[in-house]
Amino acid sequence: MHILYLNSMQGKKKFKPRLFQNFRLDEFVPDTNFYKILKDNLDLNFIYNSTKSVYSHTGRPGLDPVVFFKMILAGYLENCPTDRGLERLFQMRLDLRYFIDHDIDETIPDHSTICKTRKRIPEHIFAEVFEHILSLCVQQGMVDGTTQSIDSAYIDANASLDNMDKINLEDRDPDIFLREVFDQDLPDNYSIKDKVDRVRKVQKDLLVHKRYREKKYKEQDRDSKRKNKGRVFSNATHVSKSDPDARIAVKPGKPRMLCYTSTMSVDTLQSVITNIAAEYASQKDSKLLMRNVLRTENALAANGLEMSQVLADTGFSSGENYQLLEEMGLRAFIPLHGTYVSDREGFKYDGRRNAFICPQGLALKPSYNKSGEGRKTTVYRSKKKECDSCPIREDCVSSRGIKEISSTPYKREYERMRKRLKTRAGKNTYQLRMHTVEPVFGSLQQYYGLRRIYVRGKNSASKVMLMAASAFNLKKWIKQIGKDALEVIFATPSVIKCLMFGNSKFSNSSLVSLHSEYQ
């Protein structure tokens, strides 16, 4: 028989509100807290000068712009992208209150104030905050700048396909409409009427295709109860009523959705984001590459760094991009798209001579260029005298007695890229892209609130992306500060001596405290 002796009675806690409290918020937040360390190291006071022109010199004081940006950054660090969720989060967290200098009895700014402040502050100030945090990463030695990995991803817009309206061409500029929707510029000799007619023709073709698809779905799903059977929308025919800047995007195997495109550059040293922006989802990646490269180059140049290599996937491939990157002195690693063909049947391309070599060893050299709607072509032509005496001329030449091959005017650029990617160094360098930019996009969407854009408008979408990327870089920066501080602490003779003789003075928790004191 076992006898159990109880040395204490059962406790029962009761809450008794006090009339007076002796409470200090800074003492209740531990020194090892992430936001306490962040507050001690991050200085955003430059925002006051940047936003001075946004506010009036009279009237009721508005939300402190530094407090606003700290709240936004903390929201993305906590994967809380909505304004209402941000308000509730700060109401319940002591460390977040301390981070924005709000005591326990102060009222947290509500969601409507946060929303209005976001609209009030222009986009370039959000970009300044991003660039400031990027410069902190550069100063900490986290950015090399030499190799930049570029990618893009669709981010869901705050709009629904259930709320779409037909486009009225009379209300839109045909030039802007063509660039945004069709991703092309028609020749300069096209009049406004020609451009409108071109747009209407494409719309008509899409509507015919839409009616065919609807008829097909109707026959297949006549007895189905599925909502919106056979619904087919296009950027050429419809626009969202909720967010006119959102564009319809299609992924293989997935339904249509309203999105923005996020284009991003990531440094390959420690995966720090060096550039991010919101673009229309109707535009091709190949049309967005150079814009992203120029922004990245300017951001790095502002920090005294120089870019020399660019990594991107096949979607960014185009001969024009290859040529522009070479003119900028940048070494690119971008796989060729599937429509490019190096050789033709029986004709091999000679890059040194810039000619197609026929089976008889004769060269077809560039004869003239022609351009269609947004596409340039170079025609390689043989000489009639040479073809007249050729033994296989009947199976080769045209009715005019010559052989013509149409190809891209950027043939040499394509061939140089193809050969570069086949080398061992090219393969190893391109592998860096999968280990840098793709995991960063996954982290932003899963852990930094970029799964969906909860604001409307391309301008506001850019602000969201800039702040999510800033929060991502900020967390990396704080971790690097901790590593560098611990290296300094461990390198001091007193710490080495205590560790050698097993002195318990420097435990794990005390080392972290020493890190914060050192900073």
145-177 pLDDT, tens digit each: 999 999 999 999 999 988 888 877 666 666 666
Bridge-based pairing of strands 147-156 and 309-311 is parallel
Q: Which of 192, 146, 200 is nearest to 169 (CA)?
A: 200
Alpha helices in 221-318 (DSSP H): 285-301
Average pLDDT, the chain: 82
Residue 469 has pLDDT above 60, yes or no: yes
Cβ–Cβ under 8 Å, residues 486 and 515: yes
Q: The tokens 């190893």 sit on which residue?
A: 428
3-state helix, strand, coil in the chain (%, to 5): 45, 15, 40
pTM of the model: 0.83
Strands 164-166 and 147-156: unpaired
First-last CA distance in the chain: 60
pLDDT tens profile 67-113: 999 999 999 999 999 999 999 999 999 999 999 999 888 899 999 99
The 10 Å Cβ neighbour count of residue 247 is 25
Q: Could you give phi then psi for residue 371, rounded to 5 degrees?
A: -130, 135
Give pLDDT tens digits for 329-370: 999 999 998 788 888 877 888 888 888 888 878 888 887 777
> In three state form, how does the secondary structure of 94-118 look?
HHHHHHCCCCCCCCCCCHHHHHHHH
Longest Cα separation, the chain = 117
Please report which confidence band the pLDDT of residue 519 belongs to, taking 50, 70 and 90 as the band edges: very low
Least confident among 207-216, 405-414, 448-457: 207-216
Contact 382, 358 (CB under 8 A): yes
The pLDDT value given to residue 228: 46
Interval 316-323 mean pLDDT: 92
Confidence of residue 184 (pLDDT cuts 50, 70, 90): low
HSE (side-chain half, CA atoms, 13 Å) at 245? 18
pLDDT value, residue 173: 66
**Arithmetic mean of pLDDT, 200-213:** 60
Question: Which tokens hold the place of 108?
Answer: 């947290």
Least confident of 30-34, 174-178, 468-472: 174-178
Mean pLDDT of 297-301: 96
What pLDDT sits at residue 408? 84
Distance (Å, rounded) from C-alpha 383 to C-alpha 431? 45
| Span 118-154, pLDDT tens digits | 999 999 999 999 999 999 999 999 999 999 999 999 9
- pLDDT band at residue 22, thresholds of 50, 70 and 90? confident
Q: Which residues contact 381 (CB under 8 A, 6 or more apart)?
A: 364, 365, 367, 368, 402, 403, 404
Q: Is the pLDDT of residue 498 over 70?
A: no
Supply 145's token pair.
Answer: 């700048």
**Token pair recorded at residue 364:** 């077809």
Model confidence at 500, in pLDDT bands (50, 70, 90)?
very low
Residue 501's pLDDT band, with cuts at 50, 70 and 90, is very low
pLDDT average, residue stretch 43-57: 92
Picking from 299-303, 446-450, 489-493, 506-510, which range would have the lowest pLDDT averaged per residue? 506-510
Separation CA 466–CA 461 (nearest Å)? 9
Q: What is the pLDDT of residue 121?
A: 95
pLDDT band, very low/low/confident/very high, at 208 (cuts 50, 70, 90): low
Strand partners, 452: 156
Interior angle at CA 261, CA 257 and CA 263, nearest 5 = 155
CB-neighbour burial class of residue 481 (10 A; exposed 0-12, middle 13-18, buried 19+): buried
CA distance 31 to 13: 29
With tokens 């096209």, the residue in question is 190
Q: Is 419 in a helix, a strand, or coil?
A: helix
Q: How confident is the model at residue 402 (pLDDT cuts 50, 70, 90)?
A: confident
Contact 210, 230 (CB under 8 A): no
- Residue 334 to residue 421: CA distance in whole angstroms: 8
For residues 97 and 74, the answer to whether their CB atoms sit within 8 Å is no
DSSP labels for 304-349?
Answer: T----EEE--GGG--HHHHHHHHHTT-EEE-PPPTT--SSBTTBEE
- Burial status of residue 55 (CB atoms within 10 A of its CB: 0-12, 13-18, 19 or more): middle
Identify the pLDDT of residue 497.
47
Q: Which residue has the higher pLDDT, 286 or 389?
A: 286
* Residues 261/153, Cβ–Cβ less than 8 Å: yes
Residue 32 CB neighbour total at 10 angstroms: 15
Quote the pLDDT of residue 507. Answer: 46
Q: What percentage of the chain reaches a pLDDT higher than 70?
A: 79
Of 504 and 381, the structure prediction assigns the larger pLDDT to: 381
